[in-house]
Structure 1
Amino acid sequence: MSKKNRSGIIYSTNPEFEFNDSDDEAETLAPQHQDLRIWLERKGGGKVSTVIKGFVGKNSDLEVLGKLLKNLCGSGGTVKDHEVQIQGDHRDKVITWLISKNYKAKKAGG
């Protein structure tokens, strides 16, 4: 069963109601217009991960960016929920690379 967000609509008494399943993704912004935040999240077992949030654009473009960043860090990770998660603390390396590619990026969180 699909777990798509249907904006709280459960049932409609209108016989002509049709739910619009619009998966319109936002157009990917140019790197200089992206405002990315780099977080360090602590997971269970003392593990940490670098999380890049704030990307505006298509999921496919975020997947490409995530793959480039994982290759840069030589580490595993994933792209989900509109953010890139990389295993380990690679904030400085990620920020340096993103700035060299004209992205606006800075550290966030405690």
Structure 2
Amino acid sequence: MDLKDQLKNLFPEHISSEEEKITEKKREVWLQEEPIICKYEKRKGKPITILEGYNGAEQDFKKLAQDLKKKLSVGGSFKNSSIIIQGDYRDKIMTLLQEMGFKTKRVGG
């Protein structure tokens, strides 16, 4: 039994800072019933990934776009209620969204 387990036994109602950060991240964006659609396109010969179908607030979707761009270290934008990420990152984006609790659907290819 390590120190963390002993502290949990002594103080069961206490939430550690690591657990608190995880629960805060899950509460940051509104989760939805329908899946987010993840598409792949080529525009002017360059590959892009497009995310559509978010039902929540526009500010939440913009924040999600910023988080994805930071985690993937790529460029992108938010236009017309869709996120556009430079490059073909469908698999990585879908795993990141599923870890956050979103349902995803892959479209095309």
Q: Shared fold by TM > 0.5?
A: yes
CA distance in 2 between counterparts of 1:60 and 1:30 reads 10
Residues 26-64 of structure 1: CA distance to partner in whole angstroms, max 9, x if unpaired?
xxx8425242010001100x2010100101122111110
Query: What is the 5 A alignment of 1:1-110?
Result: 30-44=30-44, 46-110=45-109
Q: What TM-score, normalized to structure 2?
A: 0.69
Higher helix share: 2
CA contact (8 A) 1:36 1:52 kept: yes
Distance 1:67 1:85 in 2: 11
| 2:78 and 2:84 in contact (8 A); partners too | yes
* Alpha-carbon displacement from aligned partner over 1:12-38 (angstroms, at most 9, x marks no partner): xxxxxxxxxxxxxxxxx8425242010
The alignment-based identity, stated in percent, is: 33
Please, what is the CA RMSD of the aligned residues?
1.5
Which residue identity is paired with 2:35? D
Instruction: Provide the aligned length of Structure 1 versus Structure 2.
Output: 81
**What amino acid maps onto 1:43 in structure 2?**
R
TM normalised by structure 1 equals 0.68
The answer on whether the counterparts of 2:32 and 2:54 sit within 8 Å (CA) in structure 1 is no
Tell me the amino acid that sits aligned with residue 96 of structure 1.
Answer: T
**Deviation for aligned residue 1:109:** 2.2
Q: Which amino acid aligns with 1:48?
A: P
Return the letter of the residue paired with 1:55: Y
Cα offset, 1:77, TM superposition: 0.3
Residue equivalent to 1:26? none
